[in-house]
Chains A and B, each alone.
Chain A
Amino acid sequence: MTPVLELKDAAVRYRGTAADVVADVSLAVEAGESLALVGESGAGKTTLLRLLLGLARPTAGAVRFDGAGLNPRDREQMRRFRRSVQCVFQDPYSSLDPSRRVGAIVAEPLRSLGLDSRSTAAPKVAAALERVGLQADAVDRYPHEFSGGQRQRIAIARATVCDPRVLLADEPVSALDVTTRVKVVDLLAELKQERGLTLVMVSHDLSVVASLCERTAVLERGRIVEQGATSQVLGEPGHPYTRRLIESVPRLPV
């Protein structure tokens, strides 16, 4: 089966710097196999996510979408791409426009992709909000009226309203309190189960990764040091860096 998204020997070097921030990265996102990108600050997780989102272009290697090279100049391909691949960011306070009502925020992908008019978007927006567990009257309210966890639900509603195949999530629960975090993790698991959504998640939180992703790739200083089934990578880590990450996770006393 052709992977939905694929990086092939990808490297990124920012202008004016001597070294690649990520190098020799090859990974594939298959439908139904959620993938976690794990590593510490500066490992290149967010850079990879930017590549997969088409927001950055590799300085070497390739990014492929449904088997074809991703080309930001190909408008027809980019439309299909934006419809298939959506994203959720870490900070629910800065990722929602404070001056727009939630209804308009969630409808944005439908409108900008030209899929719907205001009237045909409304029922889809209502359905998306209901799926993430928000009341229907949320459409008339503003982001500041919601808590951090609710805002992240709004962001998830916006990202899933156009029924994408892949959801790219950059630390989607890191900014949330632990009780809220569990609920948002449950919501993402539900969307995977019920809508067949495939997650590509950047996270430093291994327990969240283990809860949601079938596959894990571990990044250290811009290179993948280990990748495979999550049970394998986190259960029997082969690389010393992976082992150190797992051992560092603070645990509750038994």
Chain B
Amino acid sequence: MTLLDVRGLTVRTDDGRILVDDLSFTVAGGERLGLIGESGSGKSLTTLAVLGLLPDGMTSSGSVELAGTQMVGAAERSLTGVRGRDAAVVFQEPLTALDPLMRLGRQIAEPLARRTGLTGKHLRGAVHQALEQVRLPEPDRIARAFAHEVSGGQRQRVALAMALACEPKLLIADEPTTALDVSVQAEMLELIDGLVREREMAVLFVSHDLAVVSRVTDRVLVMKDGRAVEQGVVHDIVRAPRETYTRALVASARKLESALDLRSAP
């Protein structure tokens, strides 16, 4: 069953520049797709277009069907129900994604209450559970804290808990570990992998880092200058890239990685 069906998606600025050019891909229920590319490749705009969240001055055309709802050109009112329920998103920078003036517990409680109708003690219990799920220590302390009072890794776990609280069919993760330290990144990737598996959730994972993408997704779509360059199984693309650009990308990543191997040799 196709959960997300993107066909001929094109994103234009008002002055006519094309930022995403005739992009097509699908994500089935429970499937994981990685969008990989460098700055300016249009990967983040693609996720925003999928959610109908393009900034002012940009318009999309083509077709984006998310769980049966056409997102391109739809009225804002009809999209609010889709966001959260069908797809939820975790952004790169948790400090800007979270409300600085609202306690973290309340930010998780909002989507939870909307989905489950829980109130009072039961809602607090559910928030506690949501925070435990993303393996945050002292969930009650975190629930009372503000975003600036916890570490970057903890903030990103809260953002993940918020996204999961909606029990979406599709989790969109846009560079969710780029702002994190490497050991925190490793924990976060493992956490996303595990939680998504338990829930049989589909994932659209955006990153500039092939190694990171390969930890979470099975399939990958390589983008450059708004276009799809190559698409396929992660392992195949890493082992035998077909397109020139993908080859350069893999070679660069391998070159940096090999420096680490030389040093590790006895």
Q: Which residues of A are in contact with B by a Cβ distance under 8 Å?
A: 40-41, 148, 177-182, 185, 204-208, 210-211, 230-231, 234-235, 244-253
Contact = CB atoms under 8 A, between A and B. Distances in A.
A251 B256 contact: no
B253 A252 contact: yes
Contacts, number: 90
A40 B182 CA distance: 8
B252 interface: yes
A177 B250 contact: no
B182 A178 contact: no
B26 interface: no
27 contacts: A40-B182, A40-B184, A178-B208, A178-B209, A178-B210, A178-B249, A178-B256, A181-B252, A181-B256, A182-B255, A182-B256, A204-B181, A206-B182, A207-B256, A234-B260, A234-B264, A235-B266, A244-B183, A245-B182, A246-B260, A247-B186, A248-B182, A250-B185, A250-B186, A250-B212, A250-B214, A251-B257
Contacts of A40: 181-184
Given A252-B214, A253-B235, A178 B252 contact: yes
B122 interface: no
A249 B182 contact: yes
B263 A210 contact: yes
A250 B252 contact: no
A40 B185 CA distance: 11
Contact of A252 (B183, B248, B254): B254
Given A179-B252, A207-B256, A250-B211, A235 B39 contact: no
Given A182-B252, A253-B214, A210 B262 contact: yes
Given A178-B252, A179-B252, A181-B252, 20 more contacts: A40-B182, A41-B181, A180-B38, A181-B256, A204-B181, A204-B182, A207-B260, A210-B260, A210-B262, A235-B265, A246-B260, A248-B183, A249-B182, A250-B186, A250-B212, A250-B215, A252-B253, A253-B214, A253-B234, A253-B239
A180 B255 CA distance: 12
A55 B260 CA distance: 32
A148 B134 CA distance: 35
B6 interface: no
B29 interface: no
Contact of B259 (A179, A207, A248): A207
B183 A251 contact: no
Contacts of B259: 207-208, 210-211
Contacts of B260: 206-207, 210, 234, 246, 249
B62 interface: no
Which 10 pairs across A and B sit closest by C-beta, in order of nearness? A177-B38, A250-B211, A40-B181, A211-B259, A248-B186, A210-B259, A207-B256, A248-B183, A182-B252, A248-B182
B18 interface: no
